[in-house]
Amino acid sequence: MTAALKKIWNIVSTALVVLMVLCAVFLMGSRLLGYQVFTVISGSMEPKYSVGDLLYVKKVDVNTIQVGDDITFLLNEDLVVATHQVIRIDAEKQRFYTKGLANEIEDSEPVHFNNVLGVPQFSIPKLGYVSNFIQNPPGTYITIAAGALLILLVFLPDLLGRKEQEQAAATGIQAGASAAEEENRLLRAEVERLRGEIAEKKTDNTQ
């Protein structure tokens, strides 16, 4: 691999690694900071939150929640999660009355304080599609395979470079061995020539 191609590949592979790390941080690392991450699956809160948006929710003291705040809560016993706006509060009965921004009427059932998961802090448009893809098969397997392939490709230039160096070293050793063999052949030929001359001189002296 030439130096120019290697440099280009290093830039591309680094960008891909950074992108994967950022996705991992946004999808999972945020939980270490106390956020719960949910994907918006309905348009009840449009235009504020659209389908496919990734919603970052943080647990708060329910007593600090006011009318006009958005809350994320357990909608029913099936653990379905929803995010709607608070339109009124019954502190005595510990109930929030909510409504989706895009809905014409308020929700049929109030939300008990204990069912509040938190308050949305921010959202990232359409990242929820990526989250769902990664967290559910076959997207999970594809993501793992892609990550393994990327790691392999990151180290591929080094492996190829090392192989080229080994081949060059082997070629150099072979060339050196060939040169040594040729030198030995010439040396043996010279020795034989000298022996022949000595033998001829002995024959002349005998005659």
What does the pLDDT look like over 115-152, one tens digit per residue?
999 999 999 898 777 766 666 677 666 666 766 776 67
Residues 149 and 184 in one domain: yes
pLDDT at residue 31, rounded to an integer:
66
Last residue of a domain, one of 94, 126, 158: 126
Residues 102 and 116 in one domain: yes
Nearest to 100 by CA among 118, 85, 122, 111: 85
Q: Mean pLDDT, to the nearest integer, of 174-186?
A: 65
Where is pLDDT greater, at 194 or 50?
A: 50
The answer to whether residue 28 sits within a structural domain is yes
Looking from the CA of 110 toward its CB, the CA atoms found within 13 Å total 13
CB 26 within 8 A of CB 54: yes
Local confidence band at 11 (pLDDT 50, 70, 90 cut-offs): confident
The answer to whether residue 148 sits within a structural domain is yes
Where is pLDDT greater, at 86 or 7?
A: 86
Residues 39 and 122 in one domain: yes
Last residue of a domain, one of 75, 104, 126: 126
CATH number, domain of 116, equals 2.10.109.10
CB 86 within 8 A of CB 115: no
Q: Quick one: 32 exposed, middle or buried, by C-beta within 10 A (0-12, 13-18, 19+)?
A: exposed
CB 55 within 8 A of CB 40: yes
The answer to whether residue 132 sits within a structural domain is no
Last residue of a domain, one of 126, 159, 192: 126
Structural domain span for residue 87: 34-126
Number of domains the chain contains: 2
CA pair distance 97, 108, nearest whole angstrom? 9
The answer to whether residue 184 sits within a structural domain is yes
Q: At what angle do helices 139-206 and 127-135 cross, to 10 degrees?
A: 70
Residues 53 and 122 in one domain: yes
Residues 29 and 4 in one domain: yes
CB 76 within 8 A of CB 91: no
Residues 106 and 148 in one domain: no
- Among 54-58, 75-79, 99-103, 198-202, where is mean pLDDT lowest? 198-202
> Which pLDDT tens digit goes with each residue over 33-82?
788 989 999 999 999 999 999 899 999 999 999 999 999 999 887 788 99
The answer to whether residue 131 sits within a structural domain is no
Residues 4 and 43 in one domain: no
Could you give phi then psi for residue 189, rounded to 5 degrees? -65, -40
Residues 29 and 40 in one domain: no
The answer to whether residue 122 sits within a structural domain is yes
The answer to whether residue 51 sits within a structural domain is yes
Q: Mean pLDDT, to the nearest integer, of 11-31?
A: 65
Residues 61 and 9 in one domain: no
